[in-house]
Amino acid sequence: MTDNDKTPRKRTRPTITDQEALLFHSRGRPGKLEVVATKPMTTQRDLSLAYSPGVAIPVLAIAEDPSKAYDLTVKGNLVGVISNGTAILGLGNRGALASKPVMEGKAVLFKRFADVDAFDLEIGTEDPDEFIAAVRYLGPTFGGINLEDIKAPECFIIEEKLRELMEIPVFHDDQHGTAIIAAAGIMNALQLTGRDIATARLVCNGAGAAGIASLEILKALGFRDENVILCDTKGVVFKGRTEGMNQWKSAHAIETPLRTLDEAIAGADVFFGLSVKGAVSAEMVRSMAENPIIFAMANPDPEITPEDAYAVRDDVIMATGRSDYPNQINNVLGFPYIFRGALDVRATTINMEMKIAAARALAQLAQEDVPDEVAAAYQGARPRFGRDYIIPAPFDPRLISWVPAAVAQAAMDSGVAQRPIVDMGAYKAQLSARRDPVAGALQRTVERVRRYPKRVVFAEGEEEQVIRAAVSFVNQGLGTAVLVGRDERVKETARQVGLEIDGKSGIEIHNARLSHRNTAYAQYLYDRLQRKGYLFRDCQRMINQDRNHFAAAMVALGDADAMVTGVTRNFSVALDDVRHVIDPKPGHRVIGISLVLARGRTVLVADTAITELPSAQELAEIAIEAAGVARRLGYEPRVALLAFSSFGHPPGERTAHVQEAVRLLDQRRVDFEYDGEMAADVALDRELMTQYPFCRLSDAANVLVMPAFHSASISTKMMASLGGSTVIGPLLVGLDKAVQIVPLGAKDTDIVNMAALAAFNVGG
C-alpha cells in the first residue's frame, strides 16, 4: 500500500465465543501461569543446595550485602503486576478477584515478549491508603511494580506515593503505556504530514489516567501548553473552571474561550481520544485541519471508526486501540520492554527521560523495513512506513533489542541506573538472544564478521526475501552484498516492497549474461568439466543462465568471498550446481551440520545433508569435520558417535560400523574428546553417562555424529517441528570456498544468518 492510499485496510479480526474464552482459561491446569524451577531438582544433593542446608549461604551473603539479592535470587528479573480491579479493561469496577485473569495475562505477556518473570497480586481494597500500605513493603520481593486497572484519580495518588516510598520502578501502565505508544505514533504522523510539533494544535478528549499521562509526555516531546486543549465530560478544561476539576486536570487548563469539544476540534491538527465510543462525529472530522491526525483509542470501540472518518476525509491518518485496523495503540509494545531495560540497569524509577526514549525507539523502528515475521502476522501483506503503519507491529522481533536498550541508556544518562551497562552492543545482542535463541548462538559469529566484513554473493538476487536479506546484511555492517539478477528486475522488486537500492552503498547488482567476467568464468568451468562430457558452449550457457554457477564462479575466482543460495531450489540441486565449480577443501570432507538449540544448550548434529549411509571411515571423517566446526563456533567439542545401542548392547550391523569408526579415530590420535557407540539419551544426559564409568567424554556431548543421513535428517526436522528446539542449518562445511545453502523458501532473517555464517567461514 502506498503512502497516498487513504483507504483503511481492515484486517480480519479474530472471533471468539464466550465458551471458547472460558475453555481456554479452564482447560488443563486452570489459569495461564505456573512456577518452573530453573535449577535441577533430581537428586538429594540438588535439594540440599536449593534448600537446607545450602540455602543458608546466599541468605548470609544477602544479609551482608543486599545487592547480592540481584545475583542470587530472581528479584532482578521479577515484576509484580498489581491491581484492585476498579477499572478492568473496558468493563469498569469488577473487583480485585475478577481482575485476576487480566493480571495473569499481563504476566504472560511480560514473559512472552521480554523474558521478564511476573507474579500477579490482586489487592482487595478500593481505599488508596490501604492499597499503598499493602504494596509499599513488597520492595524486597520484586525488581519493579506494574500497577494495572486502577481507576482515576486514585491511580495518580497511588502511583505517586509508591514512587516516593519504594526504591524500585513503579509504573502504572494504563497511564504511561498508552501514552508512550501513542506518542511514538504521533511523532511519525507529524513527520508524514510535514508538521512542526512546536506549532501543531492538539485536542485530547478524556481526562483519565491515560489522557493526563499522554499530555505530559506529548508536552515533554515539544507540544506547547497553549496549543493543547484537554476535554472531559464537562467540556473544555479551561482556567477558572470549577466543575469536575482536580489537581491533575488543573495542570493542563489553559486560557481559551472554547467550551465544547466541537468548538475545540475545529481547525485542530491532532485529536487524541481516550474517552468513549461515538464521542467524535463526522462533522467534527470535517472541521479539522488539512491531513488531520486522529487517534481514537477508546476500547473496545473507538470515538469514531476509520470507515466513518474516511467517509468525510480522505486525507486522515487514523490510529485506534483495535487489532482489526491499522496503527493499533497496543500497550504490549511498551511495558515488557520498558521494564526489561529498567531491570537490567537496576533503575530506581521509570522517569520521563526513559519514557521518551521508549517512544523515540518505537517511532524509529516503525520506519525500518519489516522482517518476514511481521509480514506473516499481517497474513503476508507486508506493511511499510506510511499512513497505515506508523507504529511497529507487536510481533516485530526487533522490539526486544531496540526499546530496552533505549530505556537503559536513558536511565544511565539521567542518573537513575544503579548498574550501568558498559558494552551497549553486547547488551543488545543479549537482548536479542532472550527472544531468539538463534541470535544468541550466532552472536560470536556476527561480531567477528562485523570486525572483518566480507563480500557475499546472494545468488537468487531477484527474489524479494533475498533482496531484503541483502539490505539487512549491509545495514548490520556485515559487508558488501552482491545480488545476481537482471538490474531492472531487481530494482523493480525492491521498489515494490519499499526498498531503494539505487546507489546504495554496499549493494551491487550483477547480471550474469552481461558481466564482463562471464568469459573467464566459462573458461574456468570448462577447464574443470571438459573431461566430464561438457562442451565450452555448455559451460558458457551455465554461467550466463544459471545464477548458482555464476555466483560460485565469482567466489572461486576471488571476485567475492562467499555465497548463499537455496531459496528457489532444493538443497541437493543447489549443491550439485556449486560442486561443478568448487571442490572440497584438501583433507576435508563435505558434510551438512545442523545446530540444535534447546533449553539453553547448543548441540551440533552431523551429517544431516550429504552422506546417506556412511562407512566407518566416513563416520570418522565426519566426526573430525564436525569437531572442527564446533571449535570455530567457540565450543570445545565432545563428540558422541551415535547408534541405537550403547557400548555393544544390543549388537547390530550399524553398531559395528560405529565401533570401527571409534577405532579409526584412536589411530588418528585426534585432539578432541570422542566416544561411541552410544544411544542419544546416554550421550546427552550426564547422569545416564555415569552408568558407563569408562566413557571418555568428560560431560554431555555437544557434537552428535549420526550413523546415517536419514536418521540425522529425520531427528532434526522432528525437533524443529515439534517445538521446544530451534534448528539452524544444515550448514555446508568442507568445501574449499565459503558457501551456504538455505532451506527452500527461507525467510529473510534465515538468509541473513546463513550469509553471516558463510562470511564467518571464509578461509576457515
pLDDT digits (tens, 9 = 90+) for 558-586: 999 999 999 999 999 999 999 999 999 99
What's residue 101's pLDDT? Answer: 94
What's residue 5's pLDDT? Answer: 46
667, pLDDT greater than 80: yes
90 is in an annotated binding site: yes
Percent of the chain with pLDDT over 70: 95
What's residue 382's pLDDT? Answer: 76
pLDDT, one tens digit per residue, over 209-253 is 899 999 999 999 999 999 999 999 999 999 999 999 999 999 999
Q: Element (H or E) spanning 729, and its range? A: strand 726-733
Helices then strands, each counted (H, E), the chain? 32, 21
764, pLDDT greater than 70: no
Percent of the chain with pLDDT over 90: 72
Instruction: Give the pairing type, strands 601-606 and 738-741.
Output: unpaired
89 is in an annotated binding site: yes
Rounded to an integer, what distance in angstroms lies between the CA atom of residue 174 and that of residue 176? 6
379, pLDDT greater than 70: no
10, pLDDT greater than 70: no
What's residue 218's pLDDT? Answer: 97
Question: Which residue type sits at 121?
Answer: L
Task: Say whether the peptide bond before residue 677 is cis (omega within 30 degrees of 0).
Answer: yes
Burial class (CB in 10 A: 0-12, 13-18, 19+), 514: exposed
311, pLDDT greater than 50: yes
386 is in an annotated binding site: no
495 or 355: which carries more pLDDT confidence? 355
93 is in an annotated binding site: yes
What's residue 447's pLDDT? Answer: 82
* Band (6; pLDDT cuts 50, 70, 90): very low
80, pLDDT greater than 80: yes
Angle value at C-alpha 344, between 162 and 354, nearest 5 degrees: 60
466, pLDDT greater than 60: yes
72 is in an annotated binding site: no
* Band (612; pLDDT cuts 50, 70, 90): confident
Question: With contact defined as beta carbons under 8 Å apart, do 366 and 184 qualify?
Answer: yes
What's residue 11's pLDDT? Answer: 45
Rounded to an integer, what distance in angstroms lies between the CA atom of residue 184 and that of residue 42? 48
Q: Which of 550, 481, 176 is nearest to 335 (CA)?
A: 176
* Band (378; pLDDT cuts 50, 70, 90): low
763, pLDDT greater than 80: no
13, pLDDT greater than 60: no
What's residue 4's pLDDT? Answer: 42
94 is in an annotated binding site: yes
* Band (7; pLDDT cuts 50, 70, 90): very low
* Band (380; pLDDT cuts 50, 70, 90): low
What's residue 503's pLDDT? Answer: 65
526 or 595: which carries more pLDDT confidence? 526
148 is in an annotated binding site: yes
Question: Edge-to-edge strands of the sheet including 673-678?
Answer: 673-678, 638-642, 703-705, 601-606, 591-598, 726-733
* Band (3; pLDDT cuts 50, 70, 90): very low
Cell of 499: 526498498
Mean pLDDT rounded to a whole number for the chain: 91
What's residue 520's pLDDT? Answer: 96
The mean pLDDT value for 393-412 works out to 93
91 is in an annotated binding site: yes
What's residue 12's pLDDT? Answer: 46
650, pLDDT greater than 90: no
DSSP state of 381: -
The mean pLDDT value for 470-483 works out to 92
pLDDT, one tens digit per residue, over 162-171 is 999 999 999 9
745, pLDDT greater than 90: no
pTM over 0.85: no
Cell of 30: 486452570
Question: Which residue type sits at 649?
Answer: H
* Band (442; pLDDT cuts 50, 70, 90): confident
272, pLDDT greater than 90: yes
Question: Which residues are part of the catalytic machinery?
Answer: 106
